[in-house]
């Protein structure tokens, strides 16, 4: 199969959506002439025109608000919020409006918007431009949250979001934009709420989110040389969350590590750990371990940021201490 | 102004040619007269709030070059101990540069809060907040300016209209000819000034600062200027028209101000040379200082999370 980068896969999915569905339009800052802060929408303005590739002022709340309004009128808006750190600026629109409208209207209205954003951890962007805050959305029923880790998943999950009639927060990871992988030409979808076993194994389960999938796989390869077999599971969406797949894996291995880029306290891993304890306590042979970022804002200094970030070594350490214990 | 210009040239070189600094950096080429004009119109005790394009604000507030440079290197000796980086270099409260937010517009409500405190304490201090033409479209701007207006607070809203917010042209983002007209909607004065002329900025700021000090409330000061380079260091700015760039290159604040000073016999060519040499050697020292400085030990980070 042909290979695309993660960024190219997203670009292709967006482009196909614009070609195939006249109700789709893009809205966001610098997505037009500039081509998007990460160049994902490069040349779309020339190809599709300013009606469908809407450059906006810096108005995050209005971007999401306008997308909601257009969606209520039957369009399929795809909004881009440049950095995940700016989501709090439009959190009101996203959480109180987009995610609630269906419910509050007794099912009369629907808000089929996609909000694309990315997190830039690992690029020395400082504490206001690097945050990964997916857990904030675990308490927002009405919203779906997808976190693709591979080019294949990026396209498949995006296509699923296109079909979904709910607001979907689609979180990219900018460190992954250049990662390559196989991507089919056709427009396949990946269902939400269906985890993917990225690698099978027997000894320890590593549930990894977004970028950490790659770190977990790297750790698994290193550990394999020492005779250990690690299973790597990527939930792909955290809302809905495929807890069954995680439980099945835990039943097999008896040991679980949850690896994520967000802060440990109240992170997605905390929720997954709680669910495992609720549903599979008897199968655990060791305490659940979380490999996450510390509860510290992200330091600018590139070396400190590197130390701050969870990585394969920290996963290996966790595996080793789990197996010793 | 020359200090800022040379500093930015050096930063560009360190980023692009030497790869010594990483992360984003938004350079201030062409806008130097605004920071310098505003900073020189403020008194001790007054404050500024900066934004993501803050190298010039920091230097205009006399934050030592070596501290600013060390911050860009992420070193413990930097203005933010290496925890802030380029977009937060202008954080040095002891020198009157209170804070720098990298979230566009978000510094404006904070400035309003500072001014509220000034008023509450019956002091005559003022605060100037720097933001771009793009920031006037954020919700934070509108809510903050309205509050400053209804409470008559001593805030100088310094809009650095460099005509672009990344690639979005101000004239496309705002349906007004002059951003200063926005002030009318909030019942406060809007003043337009040539942001490439440091004396003009200084005079205008002095006047509105004095008014604010006397309790006459906020002013929206639109400084019309131009970003001579891309938005950030990697932006080639191909979305700009050549004619536009060339016209603004002719209005380069530094070249023109130098010419004027020499023309008026305030400075001689050799005075200028001497100043340039002095800045350059200070700059070399700053780079060496930054390079040789340690980074903060990781274990120390937790000490900066809570007060
Ligand atoms: C709320 C928010 N949205 C988007 C961004 C990304 N961003 C950084 S600078 C910038 C342009 C800002 O333009 P302007 O306010 O005119 O200031 P300038 O960069 O021109 O000095 C944008 C969109 C941000 N930092 N914060």
Task: Give A317 Cα–ligand 1 centroid separation in angstroms.
Answer: 40
Nearest to A61 among B24, B139, B295 (CB): B139
pTM: 0.91
Chain-chain contact of B298 with A301 (C-beta, under 8 angstroms): no
pLDDT in tens, chain A (325 residues): 999 999 999 999 999 999 999 999 999 999 999 999 999 999 999 999 999 999 999 999 999 999 999 999 999 999 999 999 999 999 999 999 999 999 999 899 999 999 999 999 999 999 999 999 999 999 999 999 999 999 999 999 999 999 999 999 999 999 999 999 999 999 999 999 999 999 999 999 999 999 999 999 999 999 999 999 999 999 999 999 999 999 999 999 999 999 999 999 999 999 999 999 999 999 999 999 999 999 999 999 999 999 999 999 999 999 999 998 6
DSSP string, chain B: -HHHHHHHHHHHHHHHTT--S-S-----TT-HHHHHHHHHT--TT-EEEE-SS-HHHHHHTT--HHHHHHHHTT-TTSTTTTSS-GGGTT-BGGGTEEEE-SSTTTHHHHHHHHHHHHHHTT----EEEEEETGGGGSHHHHHHHHHHHHTT--EEEEEEE-SEETTEEHHHH-SSS-GGGGGGGGTS-EEEEETT-HHHHHHHHHHHHHHHHTT---EEEEEE---SS-SSTT---TTS-HHHHHHHHTT-HHHHHHHHHHHTTSS-HHHHHHHHHHHHHHHHHHHHHHHHSPPPPGGGGGGGT--
| Cα–Cα distance measured from residue A40 to residue B239, given in angstroms and rounded to the nearest whole number | 17
Q: β-strand B47-50 against B127-132: which pairing, if any?
A: parallel
Best interface-test mutation with B: which of A30, A39, A53, A57 has the largest number of B CBs within 10 A? A57
Q: Which residues of chain B have pLDDT under 50?
A: none
For B171, other C-beta atoms within 10 Å of its C-beta total 11
**Closest-approach residue (CA) in chain A for B142:** A59
Task: Give B104 Cα–ligand 1 centroid separation in angstroms.
Answer: 5
A258: left (phi over 0), alpha (psi -120 to 50) or beta: beta
| Cα–Cα distance measured from residue B182 to residue B131, given in angstroms and rounded to the nearest whole number | 14
| pLDDT tens-place string over residues B189-210 | 999 999 999 999 999 999 999 9
For residue B86 and ligand 1, the question of a CB distance below 6 A is answered with no
**Residues 6 or more apart in contact with residue B175 via CB below 8 angstroms:** none
* Phi (first) and psi of residue A274, to 5 degrees: -60, -40
**Closest-approach residue (CA) in chain B for A304:** B298
For residue A86 and ligand 1, the question of a CB distance below 6 A is answered with yes
For ligand 1, atom 8, which residue shows the shortest CA distance? B104
**Which residue of B134, B144, B232 sits with most ligand 1 atoms within 8 Å of its CB, as the best mutation to test the pocket?**
B134
- A70-90 burial, b for 16+ CB within 10 Å, e for fewer? bbeeebbbbbbbbbbbbbbbb
The ipTM (two decimal places) reads: 0.84
Atom of ligand 1 minimally distant from the CA of B164: 20
Interior CA angle at A61 toward B24 and B229, to 5°? Answer: 30
Task: Give B85 Cα–ligand 1 centroid separation in angstroms.
Answer: 16
Task: Give A157 Cα–ligand 1 centroid separation in angstroms.
Answer: 29
Is A214 a residue of the active site? no
Which residues in chain A are contacts of B165 at CB distance < 8 A? 29, 57-58
Which residues in chain B are contacts of A308 at CB distance < 8 A? 298, 301
Q: Is the peptide bond before A240 cis (omega within 30 degrees of 0)?
A: yes
Atom of ligand 1 minimally distant from the CA of A58: 3
| Cα–Cα distance measured from residue B176 to residue B171, given in angstroms and rounded to the nearest whole number | 7
Task: Give B105 Cα–ligand 1 centroid separation in angstroms.
Answer: 8
Contact B66, B77 (CB under 8 A): yes
Which residues in chain A are contacts of B101 at CB distance < 8 A? 128
Nearest to A303 among B74, B106, B138 (CB): B74
Output the CA torsion sign for A304, A306, A312, A315. Answer: positive
Which residues in chain A are contacts of B105 at CB distance < 8 A? 58
Contact B235, B166 (CB under 8 A): yes
Chain-chain contact of A300 with B88 (C-beta, under 8 angstroms): yes
Chain-chain contact of A301 with B168 (C-beta, under 8 angstroms): no
Chain-chain contact of A30 with B167 (C-beta, under 8 angstroms): yes
Contact B196, B134 (CB under 8 A): no
């Amino acid at each position: 199969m042909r290979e695309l980068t993660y960024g190219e896969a997203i670009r292709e999915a967006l482009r196909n959506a614009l070609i195939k569905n006249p109700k789709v339009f893009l809205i966001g800052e610098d997505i037009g002439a500039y081509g998007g802060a990460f160049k994902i929408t490069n040349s779309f303005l020339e190809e599709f025109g300013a009606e469908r590739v809407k450059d906006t002022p810096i108005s995050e709340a209005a971007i999401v608000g306008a997308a909601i309004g257009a969606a209520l009128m039957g369009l399929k808006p795809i909004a881009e919020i440049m950095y995940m750190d700016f989501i709090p600026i439009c959190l009101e629109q996203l959480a109180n409006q987009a995610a609630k409208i269906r419910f509050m209207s007794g099912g009369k209205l629907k808000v089929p918007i996609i909000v694309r954003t990315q997190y830039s951890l690992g690029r020395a962007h400082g504490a206001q431009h690097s945050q990964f805050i997916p857990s904030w959305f675990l308490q927002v029923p009405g919203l779906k949250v997808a976190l693709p880790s591979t080019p294949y998943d990026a396209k498949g999950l995006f296509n699923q979001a296109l079909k979904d009639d709910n607001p979907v927060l689609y979180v990219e990871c900018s460190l992954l934009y250049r990662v390559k992988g196989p991507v089919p030409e056709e427009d396949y979808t990946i269902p939400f709420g269906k985890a993917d076993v990225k690698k099978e194994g027997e000894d320890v389960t590593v549930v990894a989110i977004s970028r950490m999938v790659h770190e977990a796989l790297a750790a698994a390869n290193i550990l394999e040389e020492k005779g250990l077999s690690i299973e790597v599971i990527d939930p792909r969406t955290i809302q809905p969350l495929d807890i069954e797949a995680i439980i099945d894996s835990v039943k097999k291995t008896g040991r679980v590590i949850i690896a994520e880029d967000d802060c440990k306290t109240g992170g997605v891993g905390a929720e997954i750990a709680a669910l495992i304890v609720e549903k599979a306590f008897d199968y655990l042979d060791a305490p659940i371990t979380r490999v996450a970022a510390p509860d510290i804002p992200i330091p600018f200094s590139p070396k400190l940021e590197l130390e701050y970030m969870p990585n394969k070594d920290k996963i290996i350490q966790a595996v080793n201490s789990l197996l010793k214990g | 102004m020359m200090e800022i210009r040379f500093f930015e040239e050096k930063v560009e070189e360190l980023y692009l040619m030497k790869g010594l600094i990483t992360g984003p950096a938004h350079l201030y080429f062409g806008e130097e007269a605004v920071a310098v004009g505003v900073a020189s119109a403020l008194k001790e005790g007054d404050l500024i709030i900066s934004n993501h394009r803050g190298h010039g604000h920091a230097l205009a507030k006399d934050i030592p070059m070596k501290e600013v440079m060390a911050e860009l290197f992420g070193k413990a000796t930097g203005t933010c101990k290496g925890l802030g980086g380029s977009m937060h270099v202008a954080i040095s409260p002891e020198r009157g540069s209170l804070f720098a937010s990298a979230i566009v517009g978000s510094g404006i409500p904070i400035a309003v809060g500072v001014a509220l405190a000034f008023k509450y304490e019956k002091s005559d201090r003022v605060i100037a907040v720097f933001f771009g033409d793009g920031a006037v479209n954020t919700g934070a701007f509108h809510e903050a300016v309205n509050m400053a207006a209804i409470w008559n607070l001593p805030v100088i809203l310094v809009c650095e209209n460099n005509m672009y917010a990344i690639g979005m042209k101000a004239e496309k983002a705002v349906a007004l000819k002059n951003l200063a007209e926005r002030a009318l909607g909030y019942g406060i004065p809007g003043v337009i000034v040539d942001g490439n002329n440091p004396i003009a900025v200084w005079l205008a700021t002095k006047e509105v600062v004095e008014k604010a000090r006397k309790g006459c409330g906020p002013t929206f000061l639109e400084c019309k200027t131009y970003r001579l380079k891309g938005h950030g260091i990697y932006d080639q700015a191909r979305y700009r028209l050549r004619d536009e760039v060339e016209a603004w290159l002719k209005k380069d604040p530094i070249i023109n101000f130098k010419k004027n000073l020499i023309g008026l016999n305030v400075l001689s060519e050799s005075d200028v040379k001497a100043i340039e040499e002095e800045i350059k050697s200070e700059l070399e020292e700053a780079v060496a200082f930054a390079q040789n400085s340690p980074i903060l030990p990781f274990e120390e980070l937790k000490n900066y999370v809570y007060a």
